[in-house]
Amino acid sequence: MIGLTRQLLLRCLMGMIVLLAVGCERKAPEPELPDVPVVEPMESLTAVDPLQQAATEAIWNTGLSLLEQVLNSQADLHRALQTLLAAPSDEALTEAQSAWRRSHENWHRLDPLLALADSSPGLFAGLQEAVFNIDAHPLLPGYLDAVAAYPYSGIVNDISLTINASTLRAQHGLTDPGDVAIGFHAMEFLLWGEHGQRQPRDFALIQETTAEQRSAGLNIADLPNNRRRDMLLLLSHLLKDDIGSLLSHWRGPQGGLYRTYHQLHPAVRAQLWKNAALHYLGQARHLLEQALHPEVAAYDGAHSAFARHNLAPIAAGLNELHRLLSDEQSALPWFSEPEFGERWLAALASTINRMQTATETPPTDEQRDQLLSDLGTLQLQLAAEYEQHL
């Protein structure tokens, strides 16, 4: 009787953890699939499997390593922006844009791990906030700078808003998630403009005001070019701060994310990573659907629509997922049947290769449909695998 009561209590406790892990999700992308809790039998949760402990620690340390790489690539981006602002030119603008693409792609290698933010929001709400500060999208371009229909719109042109850290952070997500004022994609819009038409002269330092500007009460600091310059450099500083803050939370015992994760039993951590992998495949398919359809305009939410940097970040995240699921150091029992796992990973690798080809050569309609179908199939197969062996 006592053993039965203990078992029931353990099951109730595990149920509460699962509810925290899967509750309060954002609207799921097609195809809609429930997170599937995959755990060891409840009776074994009091014992720690050393291999599972090591594997879940290795996965966490992968996140640490990737974040350090993102921070390094952001430093390269910052130097490219400084060069652009010191002497605006076609070459300097192109290099700044290329540095942005590299840093942004490095960030998206983290996507399979960052999926914890949405697959387990009850546990990792802080991670959701960090991701929103670093990579919020889609955005309302007129919220940041001029667009064709509203040539005097945005923070750049609103001289009532001082360009400083507190202003931009206060404006970020002020009334709507599309009110993006910081992060990679705010910087993206400043670097490319509404239709990729940004010119080096848009970043030229203006040192004198015209008589018309002076009569309107404008001083040198109020001029759009100078505000755009100030905002671009400030965005880079804030991006460094936010990536560094996330790294600190991930790194060690004093970090909030670190503490939350390491307080969990390794069996629960393993379950959360499986939920995250399944959730990430849904996110990737949603982003792929947007990226493969050129009729999707920037205003409809395509990721990196201004930089036309759509497929490479998805391929980077899927590559990292493949590595996580096949690397011996992070070798959780991702698959109950090794033969199924080998086939599934081979299919994922094939999909990634075709996606990378599509970044160089525009795919045909048939190839686009096949990529979407293949990624959806991979998601469905993994969900079925987890459900079958629950």
Residue 39 covered by a domain: no
Q: How much is the pLDDT for 248?
A: 94
Q: How much is the pLDDT for 294?
A: 57
Provide the number of structural domains found in the chain. Answer: 1
Residue 124 covered by a domain: yes
Asked if residue 31 has a cis previous peptide bond (ω within 30° of 0), the answer is: yes
Residue 178 covered by a domain: yes
Residue 159's CATH number: 1.20.1420.20
Q: How much is the pLDDT for 390?
A: 59
Residue 233 covered by a domain: yes
Residue 346 covered by a domain: yes
Residue 261 covered by a domain: yes
Find out whether 228 and 198 touch, Cβ atoms under 8 Å: no
Q: How much is the pLDDT for 360?
A: 84
Distance separating alpha carbons of residues 363 and 371, to the nearest angstrom: 10
Residue 23 covered by a domain: no
Q: What is the largest CA-CA distance in the chain?
A: 90
Residue 210 covered by a domain: yes
Can you give the residue range of the structural domain that contains 296? 49-388
Query: 3-state DSSP helix/strand/coil percent for the chain, to nearest 5?
Result: 65, 0, 30
Q: What are phi and psi of 284, to 5 degrees?
A: -65, -40
Distance separating alpha carbons of residues 154 and 304, to the nearest angstrom: 19
| Spatial CA neighbour of 250 closest among 261, 239, 242 | 261
Q: What are phi and psi of 150, to 5 degrees?
A: -135, 80
Q: How much is the pLDDT for 361?
A: 86
pLDDT per residue of the chain (390 residues) written in tens, 0 to 9: 434 333 433 344 344 444 444 344 333 344 444 444 444 444 456 788 888 899 999 999 999 999 999 999 999 999 999 999 999 999 999 999 999 999 999 999 999 999 999 999 999 989 999 999 999 999 999 999 999 999 999 999 999 999 999 999 999 999 999 999 999 999 999 999 998 899 999 999 999 889 888 888 889 999 999 999 999 999 999 999 999 999 999 998 888 899 999 999 999 999 999 999 999 999 999 888 888 875 544 445 678 889 988 889 999 999 999 999 988 766 667 887 888 989 999 999 999 999 988 888 888 889 989 999 999 999 999 999 888 765
Q: What is the pTM of this model?
A: 0.86
Provide the 3-class DSSP secondary structure of residue 150: strand
Q: How much is the pLDDT for 337?
A: 83
Distance separating alpha carbons of residues 61 and 333, to the nearest angstrom: 18
DSSP string across 211-275:
HHHHHTT--GGGSHHHHHHHHHHHHHHHHHHHHHHHHHHHHSTTSHHHHHHHTS-HHHHHHHHHH
Find out whether 203 and 232 touch, Cβ atoms under 8 Å: yes
